[in-house]
Amino acid sequence: MATLRDIKRKISAVKKTQQITRAMNMVASAKLRGAQERMRAFRPYAEKYNEVVQSVASRVEPDAHPLLMRREVRRVGILLVTADRGLCGSFNTNLITKAEKEADSRRERGQEVCFYCVGRKGRDYFRRRKADIRGTYVDNRRITYELASRIAEDIVAAYLQEQVDEILLIYSQFVNTVTQRPVIEPLLPFVPMASEEEGAAGRVDYLYEPEPEVLLSALLPEQVRVQIYHGLLENNTSEQAARMTAMDNATKNCKEMVDQLTLLFNKARQAAITKELMDIVGGAEALKKS
């Protein structure tokens, strides 16, 4: 059995860990509130912007803009968004697993796969596995539109230069503080809604100035930036929620460990007192006999 000093040392260490996890839980909770506000403020804009671009793109020919043109898919680029840090449960693992399964599925079809990694965790994982990484964006302490624009610029350039034939975006969609869902969204080429999806009766004709083809030259690159920025905000909110939950669970586990160690300490102390009493009684009996 461990000595009383060892048990007291373990209790002290666990209590210090509990203080750290509680503080990290509070920090993640504060960051989550800010991230949620930014995400909820931008989500309607992203949805409406996508709706407008879909409507304009559905009224032109597929060859009206290079980002609309579909070609035979031989090389696929995966834009994977993960966190720079850990201590957020299975958050990063779920995203990496999603990307890995998609990559394996594409390779089975005979397609080449490369990665664009946002976040240190995804980059480190695929770098260790010697994957083809075309771009990395790490140490993103704050999610900004400038970051999304920089990523979009590299992605669009790679697609226009035919380095890749299709680009997918993988990020964690925020559902609530308990649930975060990894999702895959097609990024390029941009696929407009089919006319039958709009509905012939519900489709409204608009007058555009300038022409839809000219509008698309400005709208489509911006749509890529908006979609990436929306994914970054969703992923950042999911990360803070996952970290808050993980640290809350860790704090509860520390409390359980302290309770168990305290019980063990009391048992060890009781056993030590009993042993000392037996030694005293034994010594007294020996003196009586002598």
Identify the active-site residue in 88, 114, 117, 254: 88
CB contact at 8 A, 148 and 229: yes
E strands, 82-193, in order: 112-118, 133-137, 166-174, 180-188
- Nearest-angstrom CA–CA distance, 161 and 157: 6
Please report, for residues 91, 183, 205, the alpha-carbon distance to residue 94 in angstroms, rounded to integers and kept in the order given.
6, 10, 43
Look-up of token digits 């034994």: 282
E strands, 105-250, in order: 112-118, 133-137, 166-174, 180-188
> Which tokens hold the place of 189?
């080429």
Sequence-separated (6 or more) residues with CB below 8 Å from residue 99: 78, 80, 115, 122, 170
Annotated active-site residue 88? The verdict is yes
Instruction: Give catalytic residues, as residue numbers.
Output: 88
